[in-house]
């Protein structure tokens, strides 16, 4: 192996690790509440999300194998698209996992920068991913499966929350979760006049 090959693979690994951090921070910024709730959900255990995410990962594996095995341009593009969508979907959950790990390594800076816990946890996960064989074939795939399961659990919980809030729950649809709105006499007068 030439020195140029070693440098190429080293730079590739560094780029992938930086991309993971970027994807987790992007997920945290776009889905802040969801990532925080996924982190809280994962603190209670990671076995259930693993078994929820396992069928999703198996379906993605077979979808990529079927589409990519045809050696047709459209099939290869479909396989890449399926894999990319799965990675994005699962890494929203892995952002929650990184946040959970970062919470277990607290810092005084977290009060001013709550996203620094995600970075800290992400660094720990990435260092675990680098461990030969164990990290490549155990920690990384399990993290993706747990992430996919956690996101799926969160989506199911959101759907249930929407179902209960629209079925006569006194929580206003525009009020934040947990805030109850009550009408006063002045509101009724304004409502009748307006």
For residue range 134-161, list pLDDT tens digits in order.
998 999 999 999 999 999 999 999 898 8
Per DSSP, 180 falls in state B
Task: Tell whether 51 is covered by a domain.
Answer: yes
- Which residues are CB-neighbours of 109 under 8 A, at least 6 positions away? 116
Task: Tell whether 71 is covered by a domain.
Answer: yes
Task: Tell whether 63 is covered by a domain.
Answer: yes
Which residues of the chain are modeled with pLDDT < 70?
A: 1, 166-194
Lookup: tokens for 83: 């894999």
Task: Tell whether 187 is covered by a domain.
Answer: no
How high is the pLDDT of residue 168? Answer: 54
Report yes or no on whether pTM surpasses 0.75: yes
Lookup: tokens for 8: 């190429």
What's the domain range around 123?
Answer: 3-159
Task: Tell whether 184 is covered by a domain.
Answer: no
Lookup: tokens for 59: 């379906």
Task: Tell whether 194 is covered by a domain.
Answer: no
How high is the pLDDT of residue 188? Answer: 45
Total of domains in the chain: 1
Alpha helices by DSSP H, 69-184? 73-103, 116-130, 134, 140-165
Task: Tell whether 176 is covered by a domain.
Answer: no
Task: Tell whether 193 is covered by a domain.
Answer: no
How high is the pLDDT of residue 1? Answer: 67
Angle at 83 between CA 12 and CA 40, to 5 degrees: 90
């Amino acid at each position: 192996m030439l020195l140029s090959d070693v440098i190429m693979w080293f730079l590739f690994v560094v780029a992938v690790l930086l991309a993971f951090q970027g994807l987790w921070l992007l997920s945290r910024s776009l889905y802040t509440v969801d990532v925080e709730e996924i982190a809280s959900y994962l603190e209670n255990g990671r076995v259930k999300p693993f078994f929820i995410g396992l069928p999703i990962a198996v379906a993605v594996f077979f979808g990529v194998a079927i589409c990519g095995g045809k050696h047709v341009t459209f099939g290869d593009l479909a396989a890449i698209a399926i894999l990319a969508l799965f990675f994005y979907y699962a890494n929203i959950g892995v952002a929650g996992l990184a946040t959970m790990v970062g919470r277990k390594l607290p810092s005084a800076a977290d009060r001013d920068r709550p996203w620094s816990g995600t970075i800290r946890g992400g660094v720990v996960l990435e260092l675990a991913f680098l461990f030969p064989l164990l990290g490549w074939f155990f920690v990384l795939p399990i993290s993706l499966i747990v992430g996919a399961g956690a996101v799926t659990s969160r989506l199911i919980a959101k759907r249930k929350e929407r179902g209960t809030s629209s079925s006569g729950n006194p929580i206003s649809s525009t009020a934040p979760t947990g805030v109850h709105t009550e009408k006063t006499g002045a509101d009724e007068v304004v409502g009748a006049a307006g």
